[in-house]
Structure 1
Amino acid sequence: MVVYVGSFPVLVSLAGELFPALGSKDLSRVLQLIAQAVLIFAVQKLAQFGQDSLLAEPALLVSQRLRRELFSTLQRVELGALEKLSAGDLTYRLTEDADRVSEVLYKTIHDTVPSVLQLLVVLGTMLWLDWKLTIAILLLAPVIVWLISLFGAQVMRATERSQKKVSELAGLLGEAIEGLPLVRAFAAEPWLQDRFEQEISQHRQARQRTYLLVALQHPVVGIIEVIGLFAVLGLAAWRIESGDLTIPGLSSYLTGLIVLIDPIAHVTNNFNEFQQGQASLRRLREIEQEPLEPSDPADSVSLGDVKGALSLESLSFHYVKGQTVLDRLDLQVPAGSVLAVVGPSGAGKSTLFSLLLRFNTAQQGSILLDGVDISSMRSRELRQRVALVPQRTTVFSGSIAEAIRFGRRATHEQMVSAARLANADDFIQALPDGYNTKLEERGSNLSGGQLQRIAIARAVLGDPAILLLDEATSALDAEAEAAVQLGLNRAMADRTVIVIAHRLATVQEADKIVVLEHGRIVELGSHAELMNAYGRYRDLCERQIIRGVEVT
């Protein structure tokens, strides 16, 4: 950068000698000066290449590190806060916004800094050549700086609005692509098209405002520059007439003035991009403001051999203060037993799972695992002992083997053993590539029952002591449900199991059934005991036409 910028005063000096040599018709002197200028240009461009190429990797590493740290933060954001964020918006922030920050850093270092140095060096040369003319030029500098900063602030605000519209558009596209079958089923294509048209129109208008501001800045600043140039020419003509300035001196000075125009244009353009980068960086930093999962305590308890006995003691929790979700729950779940949790929507069933996995922390009371409060455990170790089989299976693209391992170290034999336990090995082996079969996005090349058995295999691979089942068969047909249920029965053996039950026919064999309403336990007992009690559970069963147990 020093070599690149330092070559400009030399070029200005050579230009001052070249024009008089052209007028004197001294060909050898002209050729000598041209050869020197070409050599200086070659050295300058070689230095510019070195500067640009050497700075590219650090700028890209910054965006890579920014993405890495923000993605790591994103994985620790509280699930309640994460669910409120748009997937399309987050995707845009971690891709386009991160790239823009990298580009601005690169341009700032490889273009803006040399341009500023060039301005200082050339201005210093011009002061040395003729301080009177340079003072006249510097009188215009505050006006140019004020105009650039004024437009820059407007560009940043317009860019923020534009990026918000792009994020909203990305979110709509994500929803639309995933929901196209539903849209077609309801013949809602015109409605979706109208909504898409509105989004892209608003995006266009926001982008257009940014472009108009940038477009307006160039002629305004350019007019000020031209006024300054002609003012200098008029002043120079007056000084030549008075004998205070020579033609060679004017040649060098005008060359410096021409050289000065280019860095001013670069600084102006890059300032606009810098403001756009500021908007992107601000959007990225907003992710860091989201609430994070509670961190592990400094004196975390290391888990040993976990048997799986659970105890809930006066457990209370709320997402919003004053709106209790779970209210003073007291419950004992012996190791190796099966507990079913039933109740209407909003009773707190899913929240209970969230607390057991320590996605959230109860405001009052505690959950004990083998007599130890789970809040004193390392969350990673706890989740290795407590496995979840969700109602809707989520898989990442990759092979079936990768889906079962899910980032854990396991031998092929351990993976196959887990698949057999989940009643999945037979259908996997029947696939053309077996465990190396590639899963398409969202596992669309497998049936729901097959995906659910993969989810069971994924859960039991780590040999968890506790298994959480969120009605893993509710969305399946009878044949698929039978295959999945067989896998579940195998997986549940010798483990503590808690089942969220929507279809009560699936929980009749549970050791205990707890009925939740408004976050409270209203009934607790076996299927037979609760049916004979003629309470809330029996009422729920009768609504689902489940045959009860006769009263004795």
Structure 2
Amino acid sequence: SFAIASQQKVLLRDVSFRLEAGETLGIVGPSGAGKSTLARHLAGVMQPSRGTVRLDGADLSQWGHDALGDHIGYLPQDIELFSDTVAANIGRFKTNVDQEVIEAARLAGVHEMIIRLPQGYETQIGEGGAVLSGGYRQRIALARAVFGTPNLIILDEPSSNLDADGDRALSDCAIELKRRGSTVIIVSHRPSTLANVDKILLLRDGAVEAFGMRNEIVALLNQRAAPMAVATQ
């Protein structure tokens, strides 16, 4: 659970679920349901007011910052890039990781786009990636999230600025990450982005309304939508 004491507002309430290593989860729900807040907790950016988030059985608060960064990749909804090179942004400012940077870019489907830049991976992107389009920034940030193939990868609305090609690259990336054994959590409203997940969690008003295998939750959502469709005819 998570609450803002100064506002006496509970943003997450008794959220509990378990994923096995290598599983993929889609998190869905209406606007304001708490999806991004949950993603921040899963990434270790925020700490719960009550309860724990565990990775390999250990509370995230017990992990050192550097160790946690090596094991968790996070693509937030509000992308933050730094005034440096493409390579530095993808490689999280680590040194001697050129091949890993290229591998991450290939995995995110952005390598070919990068090598067409004036200085390729050494291109300066400006504060916040000012010289890049929204879709380009999102794919660079995706490459950073998958850099080093972390054990757990959390993607919050990773397709919000992507075109059809970017959407396909994202789907291919998620499939490859699963093949490599990473656990992937995707917050999204696009059905295409969630086409290959194993499980879906439906969040509403900060609480888990449904959690289970993808086909089961999709069937449940379709059942709920059918009466609404009839009523509007």
Aligned pair in 2 of structure 1 residues 462, 507: CA closer, same or farther (>3 Å)?
same
Which residue of structure 2 lines up, in the alignment, with residue 498 of structure 1? Answer: 185
Aligned pair in 2 of structure 1 residues 503, 445: CA closer, same or farther (>3 Å)?
same
In 2, Cα distance between equivalents of 1:392 and 1:351: 12
2:69 counterpart letter in structure 1: R
Query: Does 2:213 align with 1:526?
Result: yes
What's the offset of the Cα at 1:345? 1.9
Aligned pair in 2 of structure 1 residues 484, 511: CA closer, same or farther (>3 Å)?
closer
**Contact between 1:400 and 1:438, CA under 8 Å: does it hold in 2?**
yes
Which residue of structure 1 lines up, in the alignment, with residue 194 of structure 2? Answer: 507
Aligned pair in 2 of structure 1 residues 404, 479: CA closer, same or farther (>3 Å)?
same
Query: Does 2:32 align with 1:319?
Result: no
Aligned pair in 2 of structure 1 residues 541, 395: CA closer, same or farther (>3 Å)?
farther
Which residue of structure 2 lines up, in the alignment, with residue 340 of structure 1? Answer: 26
Which residue of structure 2 lines up, in the alignment, with residue 419 of structure 1? Answer: 105
Q: Deviations over 1:131-176 (max 9, x none)?
A: xxxxxxxxxxxxxxxxxxxxxxxxxxxxxxxxxxxxxxxxxxxxxx
Find the residue that maps to 2:121 and give its secondary structure. Answer: helix
In 1, Cα distance between equivalents of 2:22 and 2:141: 21
Find the residue that maps to 1:515 and give its secondary structure. Answer: strand
What's the offset of the Cα at 1:434? 1.5
1:20-99 map, 5 Å: none
Instruction: Give the percent of matched residue pairs that are identical in Structure 1 and Structure 2.
Output: 35
What's the offset of the Cα at 1:542? 6.6
What's the offset of the Cα at 1:498? 0.9
2:140 to 444, 454, 458: 454
Q: Deviations over 1:326-380 (max 9, x none)?
A: 2112211111000111111222211212222333322222222111222222233
Aligned pair in 2 of structure 1 residues 480, 423: CA closer, same or farther (>3 Å)?
closer
In 2, Cα distance between equivalents of 1:382 and 1:372: 11
Which residue of structure 2 lines up, in the alignment, with residue 478 of structure 1? Answer: 164
Query: Does 2:144 align with 1:435?
Result: no
Q: Name the one with the larger helix percent.
A: 1
Find the residue that maps to 1:365 and give its secondary structure. Answer: coil
What's the offset of the Cα at 1:402? 1.6
1:439 counterpart letter in structure 2: I
**Contact between 2:41 and 2:47, CA under 8 Å: does it hold in 1?**
yes
In 2, Cα distance between equivalents of 1:486 and 1:449: 16
Aligned pair in 2 of structure 1 residues 480, 353: CA closer, same or farther (>3 Å)?
closer
Which residue of structure 2 lines up, in the alignment, with residue 384 of structure 1? Answer: 70
1:338 counterpart letter in structure 2: T
Q: How many residues align?
A: 226
**Contact between 1:422 and 1:490, CA under 8 Å: does it hold in 2?**
no
In 2, Cα distance between equivalents of 1:439 and 1:492: 30
Query: Does 2:152 align with 1:466?
Result: yes
User: Which structure: larger Rg?
Assistant: 1
In 2, Cα distance between equivalents of 1:381 and 1:542: 47
In 2, Cα distance between equivalents of 1:434 and 1:471: 27
Q: Which runs of 5+ in 1 are unaligned?
A: 1-315, 546-552
1:524 counterpart letter in structure 2: F
What's the offset of the Cα at 1:394? 2.3
What's the offset of the Cα at 1:441? 3.4
In 1, Cα distance between equivalents of 2:91 and 2:224: 39
2:165 counterpart letter in structure 1: E
Q: Which runs of 5+ in 2 are unaligned?
A: none
2:222 counterpart letter in structure 1: R
Find the residue that maps to 2:14 and give its secondary structure. Answer: strand
In 2, Cα distance between equivalents of 1:540 and 1:399: 48
Q: Deviations over 1:103-139 (max 9, x none)?
A: xxxxxxxxxxxxxxxxxxxxxxxxxxxxxxxxxxxxx
1:34-433 map, 5 Å: 316-320=1-5, 322-433=8-119
Question: TM-score, normalization: structure 1?
Answer: 0.38
What's the offset of the Cα at 1:416? 1.4
Q: Deviations over 1:368-398 (max 9, x none)?
A: 2111222222233223211112234321122
Which residue of structure 2 lines up, in the alignment, with residue 123 of structure 1? Answer: none
In 2, Cα distance between equivalents of 1:447 and 1:326: 33
Higher RCO (C-alpha under 8 Å, 6+ residues apart): 2
Find the residue that maps to 1:502 and give its secondary structure. Answer: coil
Q: Deviations over 1:194-246 (max 9, x none)?
A: xxxxxxxxxxxxxxxxxxxxxxxxxxxxxxxxxxxxxxxxxxxxxxxxxxxxx
Q: Name the one with the larger strand percent.
A: 2
**Contact between 1:358 and 1:379, CA under 8 Å: does it hold in 2?**
no
Find the residue that maps to 2:109 and give its secondary structure. Answer: coil
In 2, Cα distance between equivalents of 1:448 and 1:418: 19
Aligned pair in 2 of structure 1 residues 541, 398: CA closer, same or farther (>3 Å)?
farther
**Contact between 1:456 and 1:491, CA under 8 Å: does it hold in 2?**
no
**Contact between 1:504 and 1:541, CA under 8 Å: does it hold in 2?**
no
Find the residue that maps to 1:513 and give its secondary structure. Answer: strand
What's the offset of the Cα at 1:449? 2.8
Aligned pair in 2 of structure 1 residues 328, 418: CA closer, same or farther (>3 Å)?
same
Which residue of structure 2 lines up, in the alignment, with residue 194 of structure 1? Answer: none
In 2, Cα distance between equivalents of 1:488 and 1:390: 16
Find the residue that maps to 1:524 and give its secondary structure. Answer: strand
